[in-house]
Amino acid sequence: MAPTTIAAPSSCMLLKTPFSLKRGSKALSLNNGRRLSKRLFSCNAIYNPQVRIKREGQPETLNYRVFFEDASGKKISPWHDVPLHLGNGVFNFIVEIPKESSAKMEVATVELYTPIKQDTKKGKLRYYPYNINWNYGLLPQTWEDPSFANSEVEGAFGDNDPVDVVEIGDSRGKIGEILKVKPLAALAMIDEGELDWKVVAISLDDPRASLVNDVNDVEKHFPGTLTAIRNWFRDYKIPDGKPANKFGLCNKAASKEYALKVIKETSESWAKLVKRSIPAGDLSLV
């Protein structure tokens, strides 16, 4: 299957290799991508790569993978190599699960280049018991540290994954699509004792994006959506005989300011992870 090309937007960002700044040049270039630098770069350079999607295998099979490639055809990691920050409170969001679908797709954090695949349990593909009603995916370059107990959320430890995003816009995304989003709120889901943040956001391309800038705007222009998101994630495991998930922060959606705090903290945790300041365990850092 021929790769799909996605143009990622320009940005100012926090970087790690395989992106590096050439000495004496204002342009970013790719190195061989095989060695992980212990240094993070902060820059004002324009980042405008052609990120290509390459699908291997057939959808809804155990060997199906969605890989990301740079313009030269070299594999890169959607988790580590797509920048988080775009400036002015805008972030990259990678769609894992398009709205109105039920296949439980996710970045394979333990596989080389962390492609998107369908999750499995006991060797079988996993599906939600019903469709998810929003685009769902991750914020790149974030990580919920499983060694960190969050004193604000019942002392729950991170779930060892990137931060999840629920994108509430009208358009249906595609697996691997990179969208520019602005955060609006955050839900502190506690899943079997682990803290699993859900950042509620909207694509800048959505017709109503300019109308919503914080949690109260969501209630005004998308009435009932925050409750529906909370209830969906609270209840989706019940059909499998598991208890309902809980939520911290008084069971309410926190503000945009709080969501930005979550993003900042988990981005700092990711930076420590890729610098190997924190043990990676089985996680792939490539």
Which residues are part of the catalytic machinery? 128
Burial of 240 (0-12, 13-18, 19+ CB in 10 A): exposed
CA distances from 187 to 167, 192, 214 (A): 13, 16, 13
Classified as helix, coil or strand, 19 is: strand
What's the CA gap between 94 and 78, in Å, rounded?
8
Q: Which two tokens stand for residue 30?
A: 């790719």
Q: Which residues contact 2 (CB under 8 A, 6 or more apart)?
A: none
Question: In 3D, which of 144, 163, 75, 147 has the Cα closest to residue 114?
Answer: 75
3-class DSSP state of 281: coil
Residues 6+ apart with CB under 8 A from 242: none
* Calpha distance 183→125 (Å, rounded): 31
Please return the burial class of 11, using the count of CB atoms within 10 Å of its CB with bins 0-12, 13-18 and 19+. Answer: buried
